[in-house]
Amino acid sequence: MKILSGNEVSKVRRQKISEEVQQLKSKKGVHPGLAVVLVGEDPASQVYVRNKGKACEQVGIQSYEYKMSADTSANDLKLLIEKLNNDDRVHGILVQLPLPKHLNSDEVLSWINPRKDPDALTVENMGLCWKGIARVTPCTPSGVMKILEHYKISVEGKYAVVIGRSNIVGKPMAHLLQEANATVTICHSRTNNLQEYTQRADIVVVAAGKPLMLGREDFKSGAVVVDVGIHRIEVNGQSKLCGDVRFDELDGWVNAATPVPGGVGPMTITMLLENTLKLASL
């Protein structure tokens, strides 16, 4: 079984991003900048924000962090986003999700200038993506496509199944696969007889949000399995990261699979950097 390493693909792409950032600075005097807004004390979000800051530093993108208390009002958050919309140093604004319950994510995302939306989560950028003229495409699905491209896994003419229908991963993932000429089925928590779909698929992208949900028996021999899930579970009293797929069962059965950690995760941040660079270039 070929292991599809997001770490390896990230390394290659980040080197290219770093070179292009330097070119943009020297030729046009533009220094790409990413503002990350964190509301509250969610531990996982704090780790993500820290990793995004390190990644920016690695490729030469200016990073601006804004940490707000969990009881921040919608109005105060809106004022900050408006300020960042008008800040010429900032080319990408990322509001870390999930937000505290009193804040409406859709409303908050609508305040971001679509030309400064590296996550491609504003209605305008989603619409451009679905129309096939994307300014930028959502980070995690884009990262999956880059992994497949790097390892020369052809999508054209293949039958692909995406498990999950979120606006962040499932729906745009299905769209990008379709744009690459795959025939795509979206499955989800209400799908009856899920195995009927996954066992026929050449490519399965699993974004179900359930730890260790699928194993060897759920895939056909020779399939390609991409695991988008990431969970922290306890095994024999020790904390361990895992995905939606029981990765250890796949060896000798599927053709290729992404591990967790080290698979899709690093690519999500890499595509965030790439999208920020693209928005700065525009």
Residues belonging to the active site: 52, 96, 119
In whole angstroms, what is the distance from residue 168 CA to residue 120 CA?
9
Eight-state DSSP code of residue 89: T
Which of 197, 151, 198, 145 has the alpha carbon at shortest distance from 174?
A: 145
Contact 130, 263 (CB under 8 A): no
Q: Which amino acid is at 104?
A: N
Measured between alpha carbons, how far is 236 from 244 in angstroms, rounded to an integer? 19
Task: Return the bridge partners of 102, or none.
Answer: none
Which burial class, exposed, middle or buried, applies to 46 when counting CB atoms under 10 A from its CB (0-12, 13-18, 19+)? middle
SS3 of residue 154 by DSSP: coil
Tokens of 142: 């884009």
Which secondary-structure segment (H or E) carries 204?
A: strand 203-206
How many angstroms separate the CA atoms of 107 and 148, rounded?
A: 34
Q: Which amino acid is at 43?
A: P
Tokens representing 265? 């995760």
Helix (H) or strand (E) holding 263: none
